[in-house]
Amino acid sequence: MSSRRHTDIALIDEQGPLPRRTLRAAVTDRAAELAALGLRPGGRAVLCRPNGRRWITDHLALAELGAVGVPLNAASAPDEIRHAAADSGATLVLTAEGPGPPPPDSGAPPRSPVADLTDIATIAYTSGTTGRPKGALQTRHAVRLGGENIARRLALGPGDTVLSPLPLAHTYGTNVLNAALSAGAALVLLTRFTEEAVAEALRRHRPTVLAGVPTMYRRLLAHPELPLESLRCSLSAGQPAGEPLARAWQERSGAVFAEGWGMTELAGLASLTPADDPGHPGTAGPPVPGAGVRTGEGGELLVRGPFVTPGYLGAPEATAQILTPGGELRTGDVGRVTDDSGVTVLDRLKDVILCGGYTVYPAEVERVISTHPSVAAVAVTAMPDAVRGEAPQAWIATAGGGAADEAAILAHCRARLAPYKIPRRTTFLPELPTTAGGKVARGRLPR
């Protein structure tokens, strides 16, 4: 099905095409159903479904009602659902089995007192790497801008078809959905990412735009047969891609590699490469309209603008840690901002390795290791070092489960990195643990 035939189609999922008029009618009906269940403006509902039209219908119906969505990954454990429902004060839980009341608290913390959430669209729970997940508040204006900024920077229009294997419960996945809807483009939505599923969707639907995270693009580069000729642009966000990956993908696909940078606490992207001006591969492009980005102490990137979160639900101390007195978001990312290339993200501040007086950015080492042909995935973390304080340690999954050649990989590093950046220890695993958003889950690496 050519993208030229998609102008009246809002969505293509595993059930087939969904016309815009059918989606609009379904949203109106669903909003009435939720209202009949007692949901009111400012009321909260947990949304825990797999990718598909039912997720999208619920998402849009909640917005039509003025209610607050609490999106969770469809694979969330019962304890995670209980925590989100109790913490957010949700009165409904929408799952694949249908709507129902929140599950019993079973010792979950009490609901957070909230005076007024009528301006809040979403309570997006963080990954909880430092304890219980926290609910980041996203305003309706911020959520709308998250989609519109992508649509504008990528010049999306009714003639476009966007292919997304991203989880809708993740802010990035929701942004791509909202971008397609706001621009009148068709969205081809995969239930989950596999190389074969993307290849089949490329063949069948000939999308003009592909959205993904760097891990997905690395895996796709290893796929021998990808029909990429219909693509004009590939969107990457979620973590820094790096120049080698950006150039390799552009060379293979012939499409612009548009890299963006954002986070849950921004309800979207703070910077994004324009599709008509790819500029500097490996950078995240200039700030989006309304965003002010600068570097603060230690090179931390600070963001101001209308999309910055008001804070974490019921967590004033955690909110004070991420917001400056002037209302800027402390992103926790280290980077630089220049007039010509825009934002370059170097690494997470907490992941930086201090090695004998030198600063090692794990992302830099990961980008080098990932260019070795035997490597499918890599993560670099700090390990104790009696002399230097800390040293890099690499965790590697080999391509196709092939044999691990540590000597060859370290030689590859020595040719491209300073000696203090070379991993002191290399551990090979069948695969690396990942989050629902496709990032390596560093906290779940074996210790």
Residues 6 or more apart whose Cβ sits within 8 Å of residue 77: none
CA 247, CA 371: separation in Å to the nearest integer?
12
What pLDDT score was predicted for residue 181?
97
Q: For the beta carbon of residue 268, count every other beta carbon within 10 angstroms.
A: 29
Tell me the sheet residues that pair with 99.
94
CA 46, CA 92: separation in Å to the nearest integer?
6
What pLDDT score was predicted for residue 3?
43
The DSSP string of 85-105 is: HHHHT-SEEEETTEEEPPPP-
What pLDDT score was predicted for residue 442?
83
What pLDDT score was predicted for residue 218?
87
Tell me the sheet residues that pair with 338.
342
What six digits make up the tokens of 293? Answer: 């980005």
First to last CA, the chain: 49
* CA angle, 282 then 350 then 83, to 5°: 105
Number of H-type helices and E-type strands within the chain: 11, 23
Distances (CA, A) of 49 to 33, 52, 368: 17, 8, 37
> Helix 53-65 vs helix 20-36: angle between axes, to the nearest 10 degrees?
60
Question: Which domains can be identified in the chain, with CATH numbers?
Answer: 1-348 (3.40.50.12780), 352-444 (3.30.300.30)
pLDDT tens for the chain, 447 residues long, are 444 446 799 999 999 999 999 999 999 999 999 999 999 999 999 999 999 999 999 999 999 999 999 999 888 888 888 889 999 999 999 988 766 666 655 444 444 444 345 589 999 998 654 457 899 999 999 999 999 999 999 999 999 999 999 999 999 999 999 999 999 999 999 999 999 999 999 999 999 999 999 889 988 998 888 999 999 999 999 888 888 899 999 999 999 999 999 999 999 999 999 998 877 888 999 999 999 999 999 899 999 999 999 999 999 999 999 999 999 999 999 999 998 779 999 888 888 898 877 788 888 899 899 999 999 999 999 999 887 888 999 999 988 777 788 999 999 999 998 888 999 999 999 999 987 777 788 888 887
What six digits make up the tokens of 93? Answer: 């839980």
What are 36-72's pLDDT values in tens digits?
Answer: 999 999 999 999 999 999 999 999 999 999 999 999 9
> Helix 171-183 vs helix 53-65: angle between axes, to the nearest 10 degrees?
80
**What letter represents residue 53's amino acid?**
R
What pLDDT score was predicted for residue 186?
97
Q: For the beta carbon of residue 58, count every other beta carbon within 10 angstroms.
A: 24
What 3 state SS string does 365-417 have?
HHHHHHCCCCEEEEEEEEEEECCCEEEEEEEEEEHHHCCCCHHHHHHHHHCCC
Cβ atoms of 392 and 423 within 8 Å: the answer is yes
Cβ atoms of 235 and 154 within 8 Å: the answer is yes
CA 381, CA 418: separation in Å to the nearest integer?
17
